[in-house]
Each structure stands twice: as structure tokens, then as C-alpha cells.
A and B are shown apart, each in its own frame.
Chain A
Amino acid sequence: MSKTKRVINVLEAILMIQMALILMLVPEEAFKLIAILVGLILTVYGLKYIIYYLTHAQHMTGGKRLLLVGLILFDAGTFAMVIYDRAKVLMVGYIVAVHLVASVLNFARAYSNKGDGNPAWKIDLAQGIGNFIQVVLCLVFINHVEIPVYIYCLGVIYSAVLKIIASFRRTAIVYVQ
């Protein structure tokens, strides 16, 4: 990684942490902002997949799967943006669903990696447990708007910290003569 890229990564991470802390201070407003943001990201991702299918993946074996993923993401994104200020419980459920899917995928990957003798299975397992705890917290406090906001913001801070760590990691290859 170049020095410029490292500096940019650190600055991005600092910005992410600041934004997350600000949002945690105003959970009611933050909830709406996050809902719109999540919806927007999903919509853009969905559109990206649909365009990718039309320009590239329609010629690919199994390319229709990408079209399907695009349509689902696009649909979920627009749905999330429409209901952001009306159905808080639904939005909590939505965040629950995302973390539940993520935790199932983490567990599946951990199981697969353990079978393959890949030591990364411990990290996958830890992430799976982390995601599952978030699911439980969201369900327990389903009527409290601030809980999913805190979970989301903590997730952002966690990503930012990982980004900073990655920026300081040595990446040059040691050449043993």
C-alpha cells in the first residue's frame, strides 16, 4: 500500500468514527438518516448489478443469478427508503435480517474453513457470534430505536478501527537471500 493510500485510509477512518459518535448522540434523527443511507446504498448496489448484467454478465454462464441479486437489492433498497419514517419496527426487523444472514454466512464459512484446515475459521466464528449477538439485542429491544442505531454505529467504528490497523500494517515482502 502506498503512503498516500495509507494517509487517505486513516483520514477516512477518523471521519467514520466522528460520524458514528455524532449519530449516537442523536439516535432518533440518526435512525432516519441511517435508514435512508442503507436504503440508498442497497439501491445503488442493485442498480450496479443490473447494469453489470446488461453490459457483461448476460453473456456469462450463470449470469442470471447476478441479475436476480441486483433486482432483490434494488427492491429492498427502494422499500427501505419508502418506509424509513413510518415503520420503525419493520426497519429494526430489516437490520435484524441483515445481521442474521451475515451471521449464518459467517458460521457457514467458519465450518467450511475448519474442515479445510484454514485457521481463519476462528475469526469467522467470532464474527458470526458478534452478528448473532446484535440480532438478539435488536429483538430484545425491538421497541427502542436507539439500540439498532448504537449497533450500527459500533459496527462503523469497528470497521474504522480495522481500517486504521490495516493502514499501519507492513505489506512489503521480506526477501530472504
Chain B
Amino acid sequence: MQADFHYYAAYCAAIISGYSHEDALVLCYSDQFVDCCTKTFLKMAGATVHAATSQTQAELLDMNTDLTGLQDITRIWASFHFLPKDLYAKTPRATKAYRNKYRLICGPNGALVKDTVELAKNKGLQHAGIAMHVLSDTWAHQRFAGTPSLVINNADNCFVEILPDGSERKISFIHAPGAADDISDGKFNSTVFNTSETSILNLGHGHAGHLPDYSFIRYRYMPAWDGYRECLKDNPSDYYYAFCQMVCAMKYLLGKAEAFELDTYDEETVSPYKDRIMEILTKRQEDASEDWKKFGQKLSGEDIPDFDALKYAGEYKDASKDAKNGTFLGRFILAAMSQKSMVTNKIFTSGNMLAGFSVDYGKKGFGGIRDYLRLVTEDREIGT
């Protein structure tokens, strides 16, 4: 997903759920900021790099894909962009090494989605925004894993787009870094095939290019891991379900719902807007931000400022050491570390070492990366 959904659509979902304009802005900013909070950005702001929620291409290319490098990559991408669906999935006749990767395949309505939303309860709007990013990406990024793996993230080259009139067209991929997609002719950019299992070229949905990130597209393809079975990816439908599930989650976070249940979508609340939302989702365009923005402004009657990744960096840099955690970025950092810590722990306790070690503070006291100490000492103080 891109800023159109993570920022503007998240704002719309927040308004429909009952958030005020101001709170909805904080929430949707945090949702989109997950894609911007890289180590490069954090170093510039003078913050801990362990709070990174994304990585730039340059950072990835510069990383060693040794054991600790791979664990670092996996912690970031599995926690925020490719939340594993089933950490205990069965894989008959497979080695443990293969099974561990298979279990990191992302998908909606996994137990970790519920854990993510519940973790954000009573933790502030920044945490809610992060949870919404993670939740919506489980729909867009399903069938790919947030760890470099050829055997999971590779795909057969035969991608077929299903056009609105029902006809089909073969999708062609080019491998030119930085080249733009040609959505009218069905030519998309994707990462080049690399036979190294742990190459960063085999991270996430690189082999499918940006297809999972475009809301309008419907296509068929064959994932590497599904026994030669072809799957249909219906993005407009998936994105609509993501929107309805976000409304459910936001109502829970607001205290308007008792619990957040999986496989539950608040279609009733969203139904008055369904036609408009589907119109935006199915419109053939690379970026639907303008349409979502107009829809959001109509919903709240307020202006939605454009997203600016540097908006809160100065506040954090200028704050005294004691006041940093109370700033916008400080709260986001705590929320990000909390989410990363939770997902890493769940992966670790499932017997899977791909995200590295996790030390349970409640059982064994503090250990590991010292920056996480602030999570222990100050997390409860921040609150809403």
C-alpha cells in the first residue's frame, strides 16, 4: 500500500469510526510514517536506530545478509509490513529451515493481527496508527514474507491482469531500478531474479513489483510456495475489506467496541460510503491520494494537509533528553519498539530464530539491546 491508503484512506476510516479531525490526523500520519521511519531518518533526528520501521533501498543494499543482518531485516519487515499469518503452520516433509520461512508468510486475520490491535489499546494515537498500517498491509502484502527468501517470495513470471471488462492481459516486467510503471500498457518494474536464497532482492513482494500496492488491479499469478497453484489477487476487494477491518479496529481502540475480533468487518458502518470507496479503489491510477483526500475532506469538512515526513523531526531534535519521549516522534518511537518487540517475541517463542532472540522481561529481567530499556521504564507513563 502507498500513502493514498496509509494516509488519506486511514484518515477517512478514522473519521467514519468516530475520531475527531485532529486525532484522525495524528493517527493517519503515524500510519504513513511507518514507511518513512528508516535508520537514516532516525540518525538524522538523533533517535535510536532500533526503532526503524522501514529501510530505504540504499540501506538494504548496504546491509550484510549474515545472520544478524537477516534478523534485523526480518524484525523490521515482518513486524510492520508483512505480519506473519500463522507462526505454527504445518509444512509436511519440509526441513525446519524451510518451515521457518514458510511460517513468516503474511496474510490477513492471523493471530498476530489481533495481538497488534490489542497492543495498541490505550497506548496513544501513534500506536494506533502503527497498528492500522500493519493491519492494512496484511491485506496488500499477503502471500509474501518479510524476510529475504527465494523459495517463498519468488513467483512464476506469468502474471495475468484481469481487466474491468473481464478480458485478460499478460503483465510484463522490466528490471530497471527507478523506472516508472506503465499501467496503461501493463508494463511494471520488478526486482531481478536472484538465485541466492537470502539476497535482499528476494525480500517481500519485489518479484511482483508494485502490483500489491495498487488498489485498482486484479491479477492471477503463481506464488513460489503454493505447490504450483495459481492464485487470484483482487486488490479492490482486499482493500475494501482492509478498510472495513480498520473501522472495526479503530472502534475497539476508541472504546466503542468491546473487543476486536478476527474475520469481522464493519460493513454496516461503511455501507453508506461503499460506492464512493469502490469508485476510488477501482479507478485505474498509480496514486489515489487526491480522490481519497477529497473524500476525507467531505467526510470531516476539514482540510487535510499533505504528508510531510519531516514535520515532527525538529520538535524531537530540539527537545531536552527528558522531554523527548513526550514528543510526537518520541511517542511513535516507543510504539514502534513495542510493536517490534511483541512480534519478535511471538516469532521467537514459536521456535523460529529468523527474527533473532527475544528476552521476556517479565520472566528473565532486562537483557539485550539497551535502547529497549526505555520501553520498560517509560511505556506506561506515556499512555494516551
A residues sitting closer than 8 Å to B (CB atoms) are: 1, 5, 49, 52, 55-57, 59-63, 66, 69, 113, 116-118, 171, 173, 175, 177
Contacts and interface: CB of A to CB of B under 8 A. Distances in A.
Nearest to B157: A62
Nearest to A115: B174
A52 B179 CA distance: 33
Contacts of B154: 60-62
B97 A56 contact: yes
A8 B310 CA distance: 36
A66 B195 CA distance: 8
Given A55-B95, A171-B58, A173-B40, A60 B225 contact: yes
A173 B59 CA distance: 9
Contacts of A175: 40-41, 44
Contact of B156 (A57, A62, A113): A62
B155 interface: yes
Nearest to A66: B195
Contacts of B101: 56
Given A117-B179, A177-B310, A171 B95 contact: no
B269 to A, nearest CB: 40
Interface string B163-182: 00000000000111101000
B241 to A, nearest CB: 27
Contacts of B94: 59
Contacts of B223: 61
Most buried by A among B44, B155, B156, B174: B174
B224 A61 contact: yes
B20 interface: no
Given A57-B150, A171-B62, 11 more contacts: A1-B62, A55-B97, A56-B97, A56-B101, A56-B150, A59-B227, A61-B226, A116-B179, A117-B176, A171-B58, A173-B58
A61 B231 CA distance: 13
Nearest to B56: A173
B55 to A, nearest CB: 11
B304 interface: no
A113 B177 CA distance: 11
Contact of A61 (B62, B155, B176): B155
A59 B151 contact: yes
A56 B197 contact: yes
A116 B62 contact: no
A3 to B, nearest CB: 13
Nearest to B58: A173
Contacts of A118: 176-177, 179
Nearest to B310: A177
6 contacts: A55-B98, A56-B101, A59-B91, A59-B227, A60-B154, A116-B174
A61 B228 contact: yes
Contacts of A62: 154, 156, 224
B48 interface: no
Nearest to B155: A61
Interface string B182-201: 00000000000001010000
Nearest to B62: A171
Closest 4 CB pairs of A and B: A116-B176, A118-B176, A60-B151, A56-B151
Nearest to B226: A61
Contacts of B98: 55-56, 59
Contacts of A171: 58, 62
A116 B189 CA distance: 10
Contacts of A177: 310
A117 B154 CA distance: 25
A63 B40 contact: no
A69 B156 CA distance: 18
Contacts of B177: 118
B113 to A, nearest CB: 26
A60 B145 CA distance: 14
Interface string B225-238: 11110000000000
Interface in B17-69: 40-41, 44, 56, 58-59, 62, 64
A114 to B, nearest CB: 10
